[in-house]
Structure 1
Amino acid sequence: MPDKKDMSHGDHISAKFDEDLAELKANFLKMGGMVESHVAGAVTALVENDGHLGEKVRDGDKQVDQLELLIDEEATHIIARRQPTARDLRLVIAVIKMVADLERIGDEAKKIAKLAITLAEEGKAPRGYVEVQHIANHVRGMLRDALDAFARLDPEPAIGIMKEDKRVDEEYKAAARSLLTFMMEDTRNISKCMSVMWILRALERVGDHACNIAENVIYMVEGEDVRHKPTKWAEQVVGS
């Protein structure tokens, strides 16, 4: 296992190499903050029936896409010009994987924003908003924790995020069952309730992507791929 003390990414002979890595990390965190803000804005647009805010979030997805392209270009530049090895190569590879998850979180926020715009035009759904807010707060916390773990090169919070993802899955299933039962009892608002159902599904996917980022933080620091492995196995990797 690599020594965590050697994960600073700031002690290369080439100062420009250090600058390249620092800029890559900074842009990744910038993108992470952007998509987290978009998720928050999209949910607020839904709850407050604010179509204009929904449009702002929807249109803001273009900035996320542009930042993804910039980060991909930076990562390619580092691999081609610097030929990183060991810890640095893991960092670059992990960022390439994680930025794809951030872009997909941005897509989910855009999806929520579009549905919020539709509901602002048609009128609010009669059920599901409390559940949406609860799950949204949960997955936003997971994303913030994953970004913080990346920034501090600390794999330990990643274990908690992996466990939280299972809780979010259960919360989503319970909320979906409750909403489905309501629709069966009152068919007048099926269309609106289905929009809320899709929003709940989008938030559950945000949690999945946050979990993916957490798993890649473990890979970046520990050099072990914990995807598709039991959480207990990941705990052993981090604790060893």
Structure 2
Amino acid sequence: MPTDKDSHLQHISARFNSDLAAIRQDLLAMGEVVEQQLQDALKALINNDGELGKAVKMRDKAVDAMELAIDEEAYQLIVRRQPTASDLRLVMAVVKMVADIERIGDEAKKIAKLAMVQAQEGKSSRGYLEVRHLGIHVGRMVRDALDAFATFDMQKALAVMKEDDAVDNEYRSATRAVMTFMMEDPRNISSCLNVMWVLRALERIGDHAGNICEHVIFMVEGTDVRHSPMEVAENVVENPR
């Protein structure tokens, strides 16, 4: 007997066929590029690699182009297929997810630019351990959010959303540690401020990963859980229609 997820996949395939498959693959391809941007930006920062930071910054234009291309695909799909309300929901969810993926790319670019600044100063800053830990955490959230979309997995989407509090706590702990470094030695102030901006960018990336998962739940179940208590999303996931 097919599961709800199987039925959902069959429904999508029947109604949108190759068009929706293409836009889905394009979104995942964009997600892979942005994931690599984030990894490379953090690597550039921690290794004082200004050239890698510059390369990440330059790739941002490609991500912007991918966003525009997917938006156009979605528009053309709506015009050609004239989808019903439930099918339109799927397309609009993709458009919203693409916007969050693009913003993750923007945050990665910020980290890359700060890596270039740090490389020019020629020394590593205290606080990189905190950056590495938070970077691994939010990087995993982004990966899991994209996997949730790829497999229409509301349980995985919910799990990512629940990581937000842990990321916020880790972010606050990391910023306190970096502030302590600044107070211990005023010579650390400039570089530590850069690290704090990196930490802020990572915290925002975690927020965008959570947003993607909210859109996944909306796409699969048709319930908008944005701006709602976590209990609402839990109820939707545990008691699908």
Q: Structure 2 length normalisation: TM-score?
A: 0.94
Following TM superposition, by how much is the alpha carbon of 1:125 offset from its aligned partner in structure 2, in angstroms?
Answer: 4.0
Q: Specify the code of the residue in structure 2 equivalent to 1:142.
A: M
Structure-to-structure mapping, 1:1-240, within 5 angstroms: 3-8=4-9, 9-12=12-15, 17-240=16-239
Question: Does structure 2 conserve the Cα–Cα contact (< 8 Å) formed by 1:215 and 1:227?
Answer: yes
Q: 1:80 to 1:176 in 2, by over 3 A?
A: same
Question: Does structure 1 conserve the Cα–Cα contact (< 8 Å) formed by 2:48 and 2:124?
Answer: no
- 1:12-63 Cα offsets, whole Å, 9 max, x none, are 3xxxx41110010000000011101100000000111111110110000011
CA RMSD of aligned residues (A): 1.3
For structure 2, the 5+ residue unaligned runs are none
Question: Does structure 2 conserve the Cα–Cα contact (< 8 Å) formed by 1:51 and 1:120?
Answer: yes
When the two structures are aligned, how many residues end up with a matched partner?
235
For structure 1, the 5+ residue unaligned runs are none
Following TM superposition, by how much is the alpha carbon of 1:86 offset from its aligned partner in structure 2, in angstroms?
Answer: 4.0
Q: Specify the code of the residue in structure 2 equivalent to 1:202.
A: A
SS in 1 for 2:13: coil
Question: Does structure 2 conserve the Cα–Cα contact (< 8 Å) formed by 1:87 and 1:221?
Answer: no
SS in 2 for 1:139: helix
SS in 2 for 1:226: coil
For 2:232 and 2:89, the matched residues in 1 are separated by 20
Percent pairwise identity: 59
Q: Specify the code of the residue in structure 2 equivalent to 1:11.
A: A
Question: Does structure 2 conserve the Cα–Cα contact (< 8 Å) formed by 1:125 and 1:189?
Answer: no
- 1:126-161 Cα offsets, whole Å, 9 max, x none, are 311011011111011001101001000111111111
Give the stretch that moved more between structures: 228-237 or 194-203: 228-237
Deviation beyond 2 Å, 4+ runs, structure 1: 3-6, 123-126
For 2:88 and 2:72, the matched residues in 1 are separated by 15
Q: Specify the code of the residue in structure 1 equivalent to 2:170.
A: E
Question: Does structure 2 conserve the Cα–Cα contact (< 8 Å) formed by 1:7 and 1:87?
Answer: no
